[in-house]
Amino acid sequence: MTTQADTHTVTDPVTRTARPIPPDVLDELRSTDDAGRPAVPLTDEEGGAPLRCCLRRSEPGELIALVSYAPLRRWAAATGADPGAYDEQGPVFVHARACRGPVGESLPFTGSRRTVRRYSAAGRILGGRLVEDPDGFDAAFAEAFGDPEVALVHVRAVEYGCFLYEVRRS
């Protein structure tokens, strides 16, 4: 297993592949986000923003946008689930224009404490796990997908609760 500063290569990409925000959804968010606001492009002077379109950190000088995204709502609309009160939206950084998407088979943004939040096929939260170091993701995903009721998980930042990416049962 290879660990880098912000990337953790997994040994089982079938059930543990990070899913960025899909390109068609990104096109919508770059126009009008899930809160109904227009996206406002900005130049990231410092770099380091976690981009949910290509699952890497921004470089200084890149044109990005901070948009509101409702990942569970969009998944539920596609699957017929009803997340009820678990439907939420929050801020995510994306490139302001289309990008080539993620490169490689890895889990990004693992260099900090993360929450692996589990959801049922009905869109209900089934629990979660705090992951405090990159080596803890294997156990968190094994636990999550060891439960047959788990349909997908969200990996989220602990500090702000922001959605980082989704992993689905394959």
Which pTM value belongs to this model? 0.86
Beta partners for 130?
115
pLDDT in the model for residue 15: 55
The DSSP-derived string for 46-98 is: S---EETTTTEEPPTTEEEEEEEE-HHHHHHHHHT---GGG---EEEEEESS-
- The per-residue pLDDT for 161 is 87
Please report, for the chain, the start and end positions of each structural domain, with discontinuous segments joined by +.
Answer: 12-101+112-168
Per-residue model confidence as pLDDT tens digits over 103-127 = 876 789 988 899 999 999 999 999 9
